[in-house]
C-alpha cells in the first residue's frame, strides 16, 4: 500500500519538478518505507511506499522491457496465479504489482480485467505516448485527477492535488449540500471544484494532458437473482469466503483484524482462526456511556477462536483530542462518526501490525441495512425512498434547503435498475455505487493510511460479489433480518456469535460528548466561515444546545464540516484539541 502522484504536461507546457515534489510530500504519511521517482517525456511521477509484499525488491516504479512504467497503490491478491501465465523469467521481483505491469504489456487497456485485488494504478507507456490510470471496481483504493491548462494531474488524495499549487482550495455547492445532508458526496465530482475521482472500476487514457478514452469494469454482476437452494448456497458461500480470506492474508508482514462483534467481523474471525496456525490478533473498540458496548461479546468470541484480543476504549477525551487530526486526514470528506473509533483503532494497531482485515462490504453485498429491508416493502407498508430525508432537513439551520442534494442518489438509482434486478438489488447497487466507496472506504483508507496501516476487505472480492449479489432475495432477508445466509453460515461455524440475536447497530456517542460543551462549542462552530456561509444566523448555537437526538447528530455534522473547512479550504493547521483549533485566529 502506498501513495502516488504525477503530472502529464499539456502540449506546449513544461512543468517545474517541484510541483510533483510538493504533491509527494502531501502523501508522505501513506508510504513511510521509501520514495520512488519517475520522469520520461512529458510525464513525472512520484511514489511513497508502505512495504507489505516483497520488502526487498518491490520498490517502484516498476519498468518493463520497452519502457512501460508502473506506479501503484495496490494489493493484487492473485499475483501468484497471474505469474504462471507468463514465460519463466518475465518477473524480476516478487512484488504483487508486477502482475498489472505485465498484464498491460500483454493485454493493453484491458489489463485490469485480470486483476483480483484493490488498486489505484498509473502506467506510462512512452511508445503510445499515453498515461493510463485504473481503479479497482469497488473503489477500495482512492485516485483523483484534475485537468488544468498546464496539464493532467493525479494523486492518491485530493489534498495532494491542492498541494501542487495549480488548483485553488474552494468548495462546490452541490457536493457541499450532499456532505451536510448525506454525510458523503456522490459521483465523480469531489467537493473541490476541478478535482474529480477516477470512478470505481474506471480506466482513463490520457494523452498530451487530456483524457481521450474511458472504460469501466463493473463491481456487481448483471442480471437478477439466480434460483438456488439454501444448502447449496451455504456450500458455495463457504467456498468463496475461504478462498477470499486466504488470498487476503497474503503478506510479508504481520496482520490482524478489526472485531466489532457483529456478523461481518465475526465471520472473518471464524475464518481467520481456521486458516491460521498462529492466534489471530483482533482489535475491538468500545465506549463508556449511553451506547451499546460490544467489547464483552467480542472478548467472548475472541476467546472461543483462540485469538489475541486487544480492547481499545474510545473516550470523550479522545474525541476532543483526535478530531482535528481526523478532519485533516479526511480531505475527501465523509462526516461518518465511525471515523473516530476507526482512527483510534488504527493508532493502536499500528504499534504492532501493518495489515488489518475489515468487514466492510458485508452489509452491501448481503443486504444488511434497514433501508434494504424497506426497499422490499411497498410504500403503504412502510417502504420509502433511499435516503429520503437529509440530516439538516427541517431543522431551520440551512440558508437553502432545496432538494438537489438527492440528485446523485437518484442518478445512481437510474443506473442501478433494469437487467432483471429486484428492488432489493437496486438498493444494494446504489449503496455500492456511492455510500460504500465515498464514505466507508474513504474513512477506512484515510484513518488507516494516516497511521501507516493497510486495510483489506475480503467481502469486496469479485468472486464473493458475483455469488452474493445474485442470491435470491429470500436468502438475503428473512424474518425481518438481513444477511440471512451469512448468519446461517456463522451459526454453523461459531454458534456463540448468536448471529440471529437482535442487536443494536454500531453507535458512537458523539451527540453525548458534544452536549457536554454544547454552548461554548456551538458559538465557536457558528463563527467558522464555512458554517456561516451555509447556516442561518443564530441557528447553529441553538442546535448545539438542543437535547434532541436528531439535533445532536446534526451538530456532529456541522462540527466535522467546520474543522474540515478550516484545514482544507482556509489552509489552517490544527491548533490542539477541538476547542483550541476552532478558537485559533484565522
CA–CA distance, 163 with 570 (Å, rounded to integer): 13
Q: How confident is the model at residue 17 (pLDDT cuts 50, 70, 90)?
A: confident
Sorted by sequence, the CB contacts under 8 Å of residue 541 that are 6+ apart come out as: 519, 522, 523, 526
Higher pLDDT, 287 or 134: 134
Which one, of 51, 3, 65, lies nearest residue 29 by Cα? 3
pLDDT (mean) for 276-283: 95
Report the predicted TM-score, pTM, of the whole model to 2 decimal places: 0.96
pLDDT at 54 over 80: no
Contact 517, 544 (CB under 8 A): no
- Asked if the model's pLDDT at residue 476 lies above 60, the reply is yes
> C-alpha 191: how far from its chain's center?
16
For residue 238, the model assigns a pLDDT of 98
Residues 6+ apart with CB under 8 A from 109: 132, 203, 205, 213, 215
Q: What are the beta bridge partners of residue 204?
A: 133, 214
pLDDT of residue 107: 96
Mean pLDDT, the chain, as a whole number?
93
| Residue ranges per structural domain of the chain | 2-216, 230-497, 510-583
Q: pLDDT tens digits, residue range 298-341? A: 999 999 999 999 999 999 999 999 999 999 999 999 999 999 99
Using DSSP, state whether 119 is helix, strand or coil. strand
Judge: domain 2-216, CATH 3.60.20.10.
yes
Q: How far apart are CA 266 and CA 158, in angstroms?
A: 34
294 — pLDDT class (breaks 50, 70, 90): confident
CA 531-333-201 angle, 5° bins: 150
pLDDT for 46 beyond 80: yes
SS3 track for 292-360: CCCHHHHHHHHHHHCCEEEEEECCHHHHHHHHHHHHHHCCCCCCCCCHHHHHHHHHHHCCCCCEEECCC
Residue 230 has pLDDT above 80, yes or no: yes
**Cα–chain center distance at 282:** 20
HSE of 45, CA atoms in CB hemisphere, 13 A: 30
Q: Which fold has domain 230-497?
A: Rossmann fold (3.40.50)
Number of C-alpha atoms within 13 angstroms, CB side, residue 127? 8
496 contacts 510 by C-beta, under 8 angstroms: no
The proportion of the chain whose per-residue pLDDT surpasses 70, expressed as a percent, equals 97
Amino acid at each position: 500500500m502506498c501513495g502516488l502522484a504525477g503530472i502529464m504536461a499539456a502540449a506546449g507546457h513544461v512543468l517545474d519538478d517541484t510541483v510533483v515534489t510538493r504533491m509527494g510530500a502531501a502523501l508522505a504519511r501513506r508510504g513511510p518505507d521509501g520514495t520512488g521517482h519517475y520522469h520520461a517525456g512529458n510525464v513525472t511521477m512520484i511514489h511513497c511506499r508502505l512495504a507489505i509484499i516483497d520488502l526487498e525488491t518491490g520498490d517502484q516504479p516498476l519498468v518493463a522491457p520497452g519502457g512501460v512504467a508502473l506506479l501503484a497503490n495496490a494489493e493484487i491478491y492473485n499475483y501468484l496465479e497471474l505469474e504462471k501465465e507468463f514465460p519463466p523469467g518475465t518477473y524480476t521481483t516478487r512484488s504483487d504489482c508486477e502482475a498489472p505491469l505485465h498484464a498491460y504489456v500483454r493485454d493493453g487497456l484491458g489489463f485490469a480485467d485480470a486483476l483480483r485485488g484493490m488498486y489505484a494504478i498509473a502506467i506510462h507507456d512512452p511508445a503510445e505516448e499515453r498515461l493510463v490510470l485504473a481503479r479497482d471496481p469497488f473503489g477500495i483504493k482512492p485516485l483523483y485527477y484534475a485537468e488544468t491548462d498546464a496539464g493532467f494531474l493525479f494523486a492518491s488524495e485530493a489534498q495532494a492535488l491542492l498541494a501542487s499549487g495549480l488548483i485553488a482550495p474552494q468548495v462546490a455547492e452541490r457536493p457541499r449540500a450532499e456532505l451536510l445532508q448525506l454525510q458523503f458526496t456522490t459521483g465523480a465530482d469531489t467537493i473541490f471544484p476541478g478535482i474529480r475521482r477516477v470512478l470505481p472500476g474506471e480506466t482513463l487514457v490520457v494523452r498530451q494532458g487530456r483524457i481521450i478514452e474511458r472504460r469501466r469494469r463493473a463491481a456487481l454482476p448483471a442480471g437478477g437473482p439466480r434460483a438456488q437452494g439454501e444448502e447449496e448456497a451455504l456450500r458455495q458461500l463457504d467456498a468463496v469466503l475461504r478462498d477470499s480470506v486466504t488470498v487476503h492474508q497474503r503478506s510479508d508482514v504481520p496482520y490482524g483484524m478489526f472485531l466489532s462483534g457483529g456478523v461481518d467481523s465475526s465471520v472473518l474471525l471464524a475464518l481467520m482462526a481456521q486458516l491460521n496456525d498462529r492466534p489471530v490478533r483482533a482489535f475491538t473498540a468500545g465506549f463508556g456511556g449511553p451506547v451499546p458496548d460490544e467489547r464483552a461479546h467480542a472478548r467472548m468470541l475472541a476467546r472461543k477462536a483462540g485469538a489475541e484480543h486487544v480492547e481499545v476504549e474510545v473516550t470523550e477525551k479522545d474525541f476532543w483530542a483526535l478530531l482535528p487530526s481526523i478532519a485533516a486526514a479526511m480531505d475527501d470528506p465523509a462526516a461518518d462518526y465511525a471515523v473516530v473509533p476507526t482512527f483510534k483503532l488504527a493508532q493502536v494497531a499500528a504499534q504492532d501490525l501493518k495489515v488489518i482485515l475489515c468487514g466492510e462490504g458485508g452489509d452491501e453485498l448481503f443486504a444488511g441495512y434497514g433501508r434494504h429491508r424497506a426497499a422490499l416493502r411497498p410504500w403503504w407498508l412502510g417502504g420509502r425512498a433511499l435516503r429520503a430525508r437529509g440530516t439538516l432537513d427541517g431543522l431551520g439551520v440551512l440558508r437553502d434547503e432545496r432538494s438537489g442534494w438527492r440528485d446523485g442518489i437518484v442518478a445512481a438509482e437510474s443506473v442501478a435498475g433494469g437487467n432483471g434486478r429486484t428492488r432489493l438489488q437496486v438498493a444494494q447497487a446504489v449503496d455500492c455505487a456511492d455510500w460504500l466507496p465515498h464514505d466507508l472506504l474513504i474513512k477506512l483508507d484515510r484513518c488507516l493510511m494516516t497511521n501507516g496501516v493497510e486495510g483489506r476487505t475480503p467481502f469486496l472480492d469479485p468472486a464473493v460479489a458475483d455469488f452474493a449479489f445474485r442470491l435470491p432475495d429470500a436468502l438475503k432477508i428473512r424474518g425481518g433480518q438481513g444477511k440471512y445466509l451469512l448468519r446461517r453460515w456463522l451459526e454453523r461455524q461459531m454458534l456463540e456469535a448468536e448471529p440471529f440475536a437482535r442487536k443494536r447497530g454500531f453507535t458512537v456517542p458523539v451527540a453525548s460528548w458534544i452536549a457536554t460543551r454544547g454552548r461554548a462549542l456551538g458559538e465557536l462552530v457558528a463563527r467558522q466561515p464555512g458554517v456561516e456561509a451555509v447556516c442561518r444566523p443564530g441557528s447553529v448555537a441553538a442546535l448545539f444546545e438542543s437535547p434532541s437526538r436528531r439535533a445532536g447528530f446534526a451538530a456532529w455534522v456541522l462540527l466535522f464540516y467546520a474543522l474540515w473547512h478550516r484545514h482544507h479550504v482556509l489552509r489552517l493547521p490544527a491548533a490542539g484539541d477541538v476547542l483550541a483549533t476552532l478558537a485559533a485566529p484565522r
